[in-house]
Amino acid sequence: MATSDDTRCAILAYHKIGEPPHGTWQTWNYVPTDTFIAHLELLAGDGWQVISLDTLVAAMAGEATLPERSAVLTFDDGYQSMLTVAEPVLAKFGHPSVLFVPTEYVGGVNSFDTGSEPEEPICTWDELRELQRRGCAVQSHSAGHRSFDDLSLEDQVDEAVRSKQVMEEHLDHRIHSFSFPFGARGNEGDKLDTALQEAGYEAAFRYHGGVQMFSGADAFSLRRVPVGPDTDLRRQLGKEPK
Ligand SMILES: [Zn+2]
């Protein structure tokens, strides 16, 4: 049986669950733990089934079928709070998740966000391996977290290839998915899609776009629903998908 033509994919894009570090400031990228729990309850109550990234990628290759309302929980940047705050909540619900990490910042801090976001530790390789053991798919968010809008095609490909190699060395699993830093796909269109495919990627994620129909989804430009503390998730999930 093939995945139904009516299948909708809600790929949610979070950054951080919980509170900012003491003495810093609140930003839209922090979703309070209670709000996050409410989101997961809303998904369950409205019939959205949380699927793993591997299931989504397999379905795009025609090797798996999806529930008619499929949700994927993604987190960008690899903050340590993924392990300490988000993962325990996900474990209670039994949900798989996806973490996109910029490899040059593993074990460091988010200096790509200086001034706009409080400084916070990014997971170490050990912590990323621990997350993998707990059902979190750790995948690429480039090497240097630079906007593809500012890079040549050659540099874009270098970011994708280098991060994949480093991650596969440290994590011992296949890197097949990429999320664009700042959601920026650059201006190379199909050329970039082809290069990502040649590098061994099967999926790439934007930051915006909303819920999408699975049948028309572009594997290298997958839409996501950015989620912040004030997001009306029911309204976002109820919008007519493209
Ligand atoms: Zn990012």
SS3 label, residue 150: helix
Is 67 within the bounds of a domain? yes
User: From CA 191, how far away is CA 89, in angstroms rounded?
Assistant: 40
User: From CA 193, how far away is CA 90, in angstroms rounded?
Assistant: 32
CA of 138 to the centre of ligand 1 (A): 14
User: From CA 146, how far away is CA 162, in angstroms rounded?
Assistant: 13
Is 192 within the bounds of a domain? yes
CA of 225 to the centre of ligand 1 (A): 14
Backbone angles phi, psi at 204, to 5 degrees: -140, 140
Is 175 within the bounds of a domain? yes
Kindly indicate the confidence band of residue 241, based on its pLDDT and cuts at 50, 70 and 90.
confident
Is 3 within the bounds of a domain? no
Is 2 within the bounds of a domain? no
CA of 177 to the centre of ligand 1 (A): 14
Average pLDDT over residues 198-216: 95
CA of 206 to the centre of ligand 1 (A): 11
pLDDT tens track for 225-236: 999 999 999 999
Is 198 within the bounds of a domain? yes
Is the pLDDT at 4 greater than 90, yes or no?
A: no
Which residues are found with C-beta within 5 Å of the ion, ligand 1? 76-77, 181
Top pLDDT among 42 and 216 is at: 42
Is the pLDDT at 67 greater than 90, yes or no?
A: yes
CA of 78 to the centre of ligand 1 (A): 9
CA of 123 to the centre of ligand 1 (A): 14
Is 44 within the bounds of a domain? yes
Beta-carbon count within 10 A of 166 CB:
17
CA of 182 to the centre of ligand 1 (A): 6
User: How many domains is the chain partitioned into structurally?
Assistant: 1
CA of 77 to the centre of ligand 1 (A): 5
39 vs 96, 191, 223, 227, 234, CA distance in Å? 15, 37, 19, 10, 9
Beta-carbon count within 10 A of 184 CB:
16
CATH number (domain holding residue 144): 3.20.20.370
User: From CA 224, how far away is CA 132, in angstroms rounded?
Assistant: 22
194 vs 40, 84, 153, CA distance in Å? 35, 37, 11
pLDDT tens track for 70-121: 999 999 999 999 999 999 999 999 999 999 999 999 999 999 999 999 999 9
Is the pLDDT at 2 greater than 70, yes or no?
A: no
CA of 56 to the centre of ligand 1 (A): 21
140 vs 69, 107, 168, 202, 237, CA distance in Å? 26, 15, 10, 12, 26
User: From CA 42, how far away is CA 233, in angstroms rounded?
Assistant: 8
Range of the domain at 216: 8-238
Is the pLDDT at 1 greater than 50, yes or no?
A: no
Is the pLDDT at 38 greater than 70, yes or no?
A: yes
CA of 97 to the centre of ligand 1 (A): 16
The tokens describing 76, both together, are: 């960008």
CA of 234 to the centre of ligand 1 (A): 25
CA of 70 to the centre of ligand 1 (A): 23
- Give me the chain's average pLDDT, please: 96
Is the pLDDT at 27 greater than 70, yes or no?
A: yes
The stretches of the chain forming alpha helices (DSSP H) are 33-45, 53-60, 81, 87-93, 125-133, 153-171, 190-198, 233-238
The 3-class secondary structure across 176-221, one letter per residue, is CEEECHHHCCCCCCHHHHHHHHHCCCCEEEEEEECCEEHHHCCCCC
CA of 181 to the centre of ligand 1 (A): 5
